[in-house]
Amino acid sequence: PACMACHGPAGAGNPAAGFPALSSQYAAYTRNQLHAYRSSERPNGQTMQAIAARMSESEIEAVASYIEGLR
């Protein structure tokens, strides 16, 4: 998915570029953060706001589940 472009194929992130690791996150946390980006509750992360705004609920659930599987 597009997540890999910034967060890497294993979700390890890229600290030098400011992209956090995702691989240690639970599905509920990821789901909540994607909702916060989508509703602009998180003032930072314009890139993530744009991505989350285009995601359906089922896509958010799928991504959250996938990321949890990277643990």
Each residue's pLDDT tens digit, 5-63: 999 999 999 999 999 999 989 999 999 999 999 999 998 889 999 999 999 999 999 99
CA trace torsion 28, 33, 35, 38 (10° rounding): -160
pTM of the shown model: 0.89
Residue 44: φ, ψ to 5°: -90, 170
Reading phi first (left if > 0) and then psi (alpha if -120 to 50, else beta), residue 8 is in left
pLDDT at 1 over 70: no
Compute how many other C-beta atoms are within 10 angstroms of the C-beta atom of residue 66.
Answer: 15
Q: Please report the pLDDT score of residue 45 as a whole number.
A: 86
pLDDT at 64 over 90: yes
Domain boundaries in the chain?
25-71
